[in-house]
Structure 1
Amino acid sequence: MLHRRSGIHGLHLSAISLSISSCAADPTTPTSMQTLLRHAADLGVSHFDITPSSGNPEGNAFATAQALPALLPRRETLAFSARIGLGSQPPGLPGFGSRKRLLSGLDSLLLHTGLDYLDLLYAHRYDAGTPLEETTGALASAVHQGKALYIGLSGYAPSMVRAALVHFRALGVPVASCQASYSLLDRWIEDGLLDILRRNGIGCVAAAPLAHGALTPSPLPPQQDAPPLPALSRIAADRGQNLAQLALSWVLRRPHITSALITATRPHHLTEARAALEQLTFTPAELADLDVCCPPPEQPPPHPAHTPPLSSPGYSAAP
């Protein structure tokens, strides 16, 4: 398994990551979760996301806890992450980016899963109803309390990432990672966000690299089986890959993408995903064909950064 450094930080994640909660919440999963997780760990997957699903976060956290014993003997070699914020707590609760919601949500997740700490805690989505300094301060508190080792942002627009970095620098707590949807069918992070992360030494975890199942070799409903999928399937076949492997190889071709976060219901899904790491090189012709099938966003003119590049990940670990 390929492991990559998260930006300039010492945190290294497996290039293929697995969302435990998504798998645990899927009633169609034919393989027991513990069997699936053992297989993932045996393949070298070392990063597991345990974000509670929306609607029933406590029940989902309990289902995740039931599967975790398969991984806990290897705890010191694994990284567990979670997103706290929009959709990770019962519907209707206001202030999802507030200190109250972030820290109580973290405490609830640790309580229900039995974990002592998270390796990586994300604030999920910018909350316009909460001051940004309150959200960043809550994440810093989680680090100072020893409940999270690293912090990150999830689903934040480039302008809000830049603004948040100002507060994090003042707090002495660096951002180690940003999580954002990224796939052949959703290339929005190429429109500014990747450049900000690269210049500031922040890693990037690509969520939904298979576009929520659209980029899989499984048969699709007729209304979804439309261009560019047939063309993508032909490119994949020419490379000796299936569609999902092509999608993962394409996302991970960028060295700055730390990891691709996937879901899986069968062990062979994970085996095929790892095989995609053997073909991360694309010819110029292949990339051109993929750009025709899935055009990149229009690039805006360069603009000056609002924050200076991060030169060191040092932070205060005061209690």
Structure 2
Amino acid sequence: MTFHAAENRYETMPYRRVGRSGLKLPAVSLGLWHNFGDDKPFEVQRAILRRAFDLGVTHFDLANNYGPPDGSAETNFGRHFKDDFAAHRDELVISTKAGYYMWPGPYGEWGSRKYMLSSLDASLDRMGVDYVDIFYSHRPDPETPMEETMGALDTAVRSGKALYAGISSYTPAQTLEAARILKEMGTPLLIHQPSYSMLNRWTENGEPNLYEALDAVGAGSIAFSPLAQGMLTDRYLNGVPADSRAAKERFLHENDLTEDKMARVRALNDIAASRGQSLAQMAIAWILREQVKGSPVTSALVGASSVKQLENNVAAINNLAFAGEELKAIDQFAVESDINRWAQK
């Protein structure tokens, strides 16, 4: 069936400027980390993407290794793009990343110029697009000079294969250094993609913290895993379902779900109910709150396994305001919980 985008798709979604750039992102963006590989029915993927766009979600976020298998999310997205979104290319922000393992041998991961630019070419080929809007260094490389990795991002932008440069999971100090190098090359740092949630608050720590560092260099941020890999939903309030991510140990383990943590999650669920929101909706809204120290988060990056889940998550935009007393109550339970799988060792 031919896709006809909703005419009212821009009427409800807020759009936020990315740092001091000219680009705006929807408050809620869609990540294709899970549910867009070959393990998910193609028609389900299509329904999620179509509904997302109709709801004003203009940003689709990918990476070279998303699947399973690696690369399949980009390949599948390429088919969806050709069928449904090619006519809307100028309305979309498409991003991809390189940094994690993709192919065997010494050139198949991390941050070398050879790997980064080869990976970008492969991503463009899989998606069937001429360029991506944002190309990220997916993780800092402890052995490759940062000048080389940032130089690859600069080349990607200058070649026209990417419009903007981004980084993910860099510390505040690394972020400042990456931004300095890019600025000297003439390609500003647009955005940082950190993990961030009510149970994973590392971005708020340090002098400067990550958001203060981003504010200093004029960059924005998009938070991934705002639902703490599913902990900040009603999924685990009464145990561990057999088909859940924790049961399958996919970036969340049953031993993460301690009674202490779940008691705090249940308390947060009660606060969400008092706001007329689900726990997931409040968790996403909290990510987008304006009161965060430093620059506010530009966008919350959510996943979705169904249209219903997508709609529930996007509905967080209906109540983004927090009273001071609400934030104080949340802070009693929204504490660091040692679930950051992407922290540098």
User: Shorter-normalised TM-score: what interval?
Assistant: 0.7 to 0.9
Shift of 1:31: 5.5
Letter in 2 for 1:163: E
Q: Relative to structure 1, is the Cα distance of residues 52 and 174 closer, same or farther in structure 2, using a 3 angstrom cutoff? A: same
Give the secondary-structure state (helix, strand or coil) at the position aligned to 2:194. strand
Distance of 2:228 and 2:309 partners within structure 1 = 15
CA contact (8 A) 1:21 1:64 kept: no
Out of 192, 214, 217, which is 2:231 matched to?
214
Distance of 1:268 and 1:140 partners within structure 2 = 39
Distance of 1:146 and 1:30 partners within structure 2 = 30
Q: Which has the higher contact order (CA 8 A, sep 6+)?
A: 1
CA RMSD, aligned part only? 2.0
Out of 296, 307, 315, which is 1:256 matched to?
296
Out of 196, 213, 216, which is 1:199 matched to?
216
Could you tell me which residue of structure 1 aligns to residue 343 of structure 2?
none
Alignment coverage as a number of residue pairs: 296
| TM-score, normalising length: structure 1 | 0.87
Farther off after superposition, 234-243 or 249-258 = 249-258
Q: Relative to structure 1, is the Cα distance of residues 7 and 288 closer, same or farther in structure 2, using a 3 angstrom cutoff? A: same
Give the secondary-structure state (helix, strand or coil) at the position aligned to 1:227. helix
Shift of 1:274: 2.3
Could you tell me which residue of structure 1 aligns to residue 9 of structure 2?
none
Distance of 2:168 and 2:89 partners within structure 1 = 24
Distance of 2:34 and 2:79 partners within structure 1 = 14
Distance of 1:243 and 1:13 partners within structure 2 = 23
Shift of 1:237: 0.6
CA contact (8 A) 2:62 2:73 kept: no
Distance of 1:120 and 1:73 partners within structure 2 = 19
Shift of 1:217: 2.1
Distance of 2:19 and 2:76 partners within structure 1 = 32
Alignment of 1:292 with 2:332, yes or no, is: yes
Shift of 1:188: 0.7
Shift of 1:60: 3.4
Could you tell me which residue of structure 2 aligns to residue 281 of structure 1?
321
Letter in 2 for 1:151: A
Gaps of 5+ in 2: 1-12, 241-253, 338-345
Alignment of 1:18 with 2:51, yes or no, is: no
CA contact (8 A) 2:150 2:182 kept: yes
CA contact (8 A) 1:84 1:102 kept: yes
Out of 131, 140, 146, which is 1:117 matched to?
131
Letter in 2 for 1:195: E
Out of 56, 73, 88, which is 1:60 matched to?
73
Letter in 2 for 1:227: A
Letter in 1 for 2:19: G
Letter in 1 for 2:315: A
Moved over 4 A (4+): 28-31, 91-95
Shift of 1:218: 2.3
Shift of 1:286: 1.1
Give the secondary-structure state (helix, strand or coil) at the position aligned to 1:230. helix
Q: Relative to structure 1, is the Cα distance of residues 91 and 180 closer, same or farther in structure 2, using a 3 angstrom cutoff? A: farther
Percent identity for Structure 1 against Structure 2: 39
Letter in 1 for 2:304: A
Shift of 1:83: 1.5
Alignment of 1:190 with 2:204, yes or no, is: yes
Could you tell me which residue of structure 2 aligns to residue 316 of structure 1?
none
| TM-score, normalising length: structure 2 | 0.81
Give the secondary-structure state (helix, strand or coil) at the position aligned to 1:80. strand
1:197-251 CA-to-partner distances (Å, cap 9, x unmatched) read: 1122100001111111111122453552622111011001111111100100100
1:102-124 CA-to-partner distances (Å, cap 9, x unmatched) read: 10000000011101100011101
Alignment of 1:37 with 2:49, yes or no, is: yes
CA contact (8 A) 1:30 1:266 kept: no
CA contact (8 A) 2:199 2:336 kept: no
Distance of 1:26 and 1:111 partners within structure 2 = 18
Could you tell me which residue of structure 1 aligns to residue 189 of structure 2?
175
Shift of 1:30: 9.1
Letter in 1 for 2:199: L
Letter in 1 for 2:318: E
Distance of 2:96 and 2:42 partners within structure 1 = 25
Could you tell me which residue of structure 2 aligns to residue 165 of structure 1?
179
Shift of 1:91: 5.9
Could you tell me which residue of structure 2 aligns to residue 311 of structure 1?
none
Letter in 1 for 2:272: A
Alignment of 1:268 with 2:308, yes or no, is: yes
Distance of 2:25 and 2:105 partners within structure 1 = 34
Could you tell me which residue of structure 2 aligns to residue 238 of structure 1?
274
Distance of 1:188 and 1:81 partners within structure 2 = 24
Gaps of 5+ in 1: 298-319
Distance of 1:276 and 1:264 partners within structure 2 = 14
Could you tell me which residue of structure 2 aligns to residue 134 of structure 1?
148
Distance of 1:161 and 1:96 partners within structure 2 = 17
